[in-house]
């Protein structure tokens, strides 16, 4: 408990050292973006209810249609919120992409190694082949492959980086605290989605590891397009490998 208060006190001190109005504005922007991410994807259910339509009784095709609409709406609002930063970040990425690639490809390879080793150890000691979240994702990949490809490769990297990296950093300006909380929340939400038992908590290791590295990349470069690019490449390769396993 005392550690919590020390962390909270540090955040307040940093907020005091920054221009108060600037910090408040930054923090408010981050909070609004997170609320958009949390609320908008579920907006279809109450909207349909207004027209006496039960979302849960719809066919899979209609459910996917409403999910796509809500994801596009979420993404559009988040991009609008942070639109001013994209021009600066694009220019920086254009000028420094070789430097960023040389540095972060090495980190990404380390992430893959840690994920592979930790997943192997979890499987060996628990007998569980995949986490509940991973199992749910694989099932959807088989049922709606095109949607899952687009959502995993395009929607998730942009949306998740804008939330778990850019928005959280606006709220938590302390470097290593931001990296730790960003990675833990990112990994934790992936694990808790479809949580089926205590053993699923072991998957925090492979899920949090990329979260830590992506947070470090954003903290290090102050360019959200860098972490989005890494996330995109990571998801693209893993999704393609999954599809090759399923459909070949």
The string over 20-38, giving b where at least 16 C-beta atoms fall within 10 Å of a residue's C-beta and e elsewhere, is eeebeebbebbeebbebbe
CA count, 13 A, side-chain hemisphere, 204: 13
Tell which phi-psi region holds residue 193, choosing left (phi > 0), alpha (psi between -120 and 50) or beta.
beta
Q: Does residue 227 contact residue 217 with C-beta atoms inside 8 Å?
A: yes
Q: Does residue 218 contact residue 166 with C-beta atoms inside 8 Å?
A: yes
pLDDT on residue 10: 57
Instruction: Answer whether residue 9 shows pLDDT above 60.
Output: no
CA distance 237 to 116: 14
Q: Does residue 179 contact residue 216 with C-beta atoms inside 8 Å?
A: yes
CA count, 13 A, side-chain hemisphere, 220: 13
Average pLDDT over residues 94-108: 94
pLDDT on residue 182: 97
| DSSP code of residue 163 | I
Position of tokens 């694009």?
Answer: 90
pLDDT on residue 76: 96
Q: Does residue 160 contact residue 186 with C-beta atoms inside 8 Å?
A: yes
pLDDT on residue 17: 57
pLDDT on residue 14: 55
Q: Would the pTM count as exceeding 0.75?
A: yes
Tell which phi-psi region holds residue 222, choosing left (phi > 0), alpha (psi between -120 and 50) or beta.
left
Average pLDDT over residues 107-128: 89
For the record, the structure tokens of 204 come out as 């925090």
CA distance 178 to 175: 5
Strands (E), the chain: none
């Amino acid at each position: 408990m005392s550690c919590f208060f020390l962390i909270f006190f540090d955040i307040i001190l940093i907020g005091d050292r920054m221009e108060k109005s600037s910090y408040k504005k930054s923090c408010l922007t981050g909070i609004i973006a997170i609320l958009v991410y949390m609320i908008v994807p579920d907006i279809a259910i109450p909207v349909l209810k207004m027209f006496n339509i039960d979302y849960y009784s719809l066919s899979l095709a209609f459910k996917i249609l409403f999910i796509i609409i809500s994801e596009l709406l979420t993404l559009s609002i988040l991009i609008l919120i942070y639109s001013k930063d994209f021009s600066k970040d694009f220019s920086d990425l254009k000028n420094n992409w070789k430097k960023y690639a040389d540095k972060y490809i090495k980190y990404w390879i380390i992430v893959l190694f840690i994920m592979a080793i930790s997943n192997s150890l979890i499987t060996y000691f628990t007998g569980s082949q995949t986490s509940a979240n991973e199992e749910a994702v694989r099932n959807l990949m088989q049922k709606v492959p095109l949607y899952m490809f687009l959502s995993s490769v395009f929607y998730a990297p942009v949306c998740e980086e804008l939330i778990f990296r850019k928005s959280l950093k606006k709220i938590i300006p302390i470097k290593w605290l931001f990296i730790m909380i960003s990675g833990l929340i990112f990994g934790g939400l992936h694990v808790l989605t479809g949580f089926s038992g205590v053993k699923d908590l072991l998957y925090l290791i492979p899920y949090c590891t990329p979260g830590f590295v992506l947070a470090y990349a954003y903290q290090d470069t102050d360019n959200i397009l860098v972490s989005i690019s890494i996330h995109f490449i990571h998801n693209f390769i893993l999704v393609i490998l999954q599809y090759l396993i399923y459909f070949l």
